[in-house]
Structure 1
């Protein structure tokens, strides 16, 4: 058991597992559901809800086609930097938690880049239809202009703000509204772990200095 845990906690294994799970689920959703289709997983608070966005985490968009291209290029540069840090700069004796955290960020970034880079080429649109892989008429977008597939939705709390509340009084609210994917969750988890355990992760280095 310890040997198994040691293997799956290696950065390269973490990276491959996250990318594989992320892409498998995205391709399944893309080829089995049409846009905005959903089904409950657990009660009324966890749904698989198919949506697509222009590339930012949790369904956010940025600057149209040029913004999409800039975001994709930035991600590629960032992934190269993170990968270099993970496999070349990070010491072999670095805290295992730090290695796993960086690997989660690295894998999540790659997962969403794959959508942006290739999904527009290999799939057609999902609006009112289930997308086809390698359609005869070609894909719906060019290289680096594909849309990121999101599917996890947790509408945990829904209602209206009290009327006496300034600015938002009486307005409808929904928590948690954003729809996200495994790659988004992987990035958020990795960043959260680094912020939460940064003293522990970098403790050895600080002592040596």
Structure 2
């Protein structure tokens, strides 16, 4: 299989898996609803955010719009990076890594751009796809998160500085497939950094 086809297949499959999982959650779960898959370490918990890590928000509607357009610009840069990497016939692992990062960025952009205009609210009920009463509008959708891995919960020992005695959860972030693709892509690049960022030989 050519490197171009590897990239296209990776991006397409990753986006498809991400969007199928998000649409399923939106159309089967109420906001805040959860299902324990494996006790004490894997929970499906439906939440939404404006697109920043750990649900941070800034600037209201204007900030949301800025974040979406910033992501669109970033995706353009990743597409260019991927295309140049393919042209240089770089290692397939690097092609897959960049493709996963691209798919992850696109996956969350789809939520931000379209979900506000095609879904109604998930608060207190299960949302409907292509609703006549959407919860928002184009470019103002919320990103769907559902993967939660609270591997350890408890009170930290008092002898720990600053945080001793506090209740702590590891790992407390709730994320989605798109976030996973970006993380996996970065990890692959770390292991194949010599192929991804080769040093130019001195003349």
TM-score (norm 2): 0.91
Question: Structure 2, unaligned stretches of length 5 or more?
Answer: none
Check if 1:172 corresponds to 2:172.
no
Check if 1:96 corresponds to 2:92.
yes
Inter-partner Cα distance in structure 1 for 2:140 and 2:71: 13
For residue 143 of structure 2, the aligned residue among 144, 148, 156 is 148
Any conservation in 2 of the 1:59–1:180 contact (CA below 8 Å)? Answer: no
Which structure 2 residues correspond to residues 105-120 of structure 1 after superposition, within 5 A?
105-120=101-116
Inter-partner Cα distance in structure 1 for 2:175 and 2:130: 25
Inter-partner Cα distance in structure 2 for 1:200 and 1:189: 17
Check if 1:14 corresponds to 2:1.
no
Cα deviation, residue 61, structure 1: 3.0
- Say if 1:173 and 1:49 are closer, same or farther in 2 by CA, change over 3 A: same
Any conservation in 1 of the 2:112–2:139 contact (CA below 8 Å)? Answer: yes
**Structure 2 residue matching 1:10: 3-state secondary structure:** helix
Any conservation in 1 of the 2:4–2:86 contact (CA below 8 Å)? Answer: no
Number of equivalent positions? 203
Cα deviation, residue 85, structure 1: 2.2
Any conservation in 2 of the 1:95–1:202 contact (CA below 8 Å)? Answer: no
- Say if 1:166 and 1:23 are closer, same or farther in 2 by CA, change over 3 A: same
Cα deviation, residue 8, structure 1: 11
For residue 71 of structure 2, the aligned residue among 61, 72, 75 is 75
Question: Once structures 1 and 2 are overlaid, which stretch shifts more, 110-119 or 87-96?
Answer: 87-96
**Structure 2 residue matching 1:86: 3-state secondary structure:** helix
Inter-partner Cα distance in structure 1 for 2:145 and 2:186: 20
Any conservation in 2 of the 1:58–1:184 contact (CA below 8 Å)? Answer: no
Check if 1:43 corresponds to 2:39.
yes
Inter-partner Cα distance in structure 1 for 2:200 and 2:86: 15
Deviations along 1:122-157, one digit per CA (max 9) or x if unpaired, are 001111110011222x21112111000000000001
Inter-partner Cα distance in structure 2 for 1:208 and 1:128: 64
- Say if 1:165 and 1:202 are closer, same or farther in 2 by CA, change over 3 A: closer
Cα deviation, residue 191, structure 1: 1.5
Inter-partner Cα distance in structure 1 for 2:131 and 2:190: 44
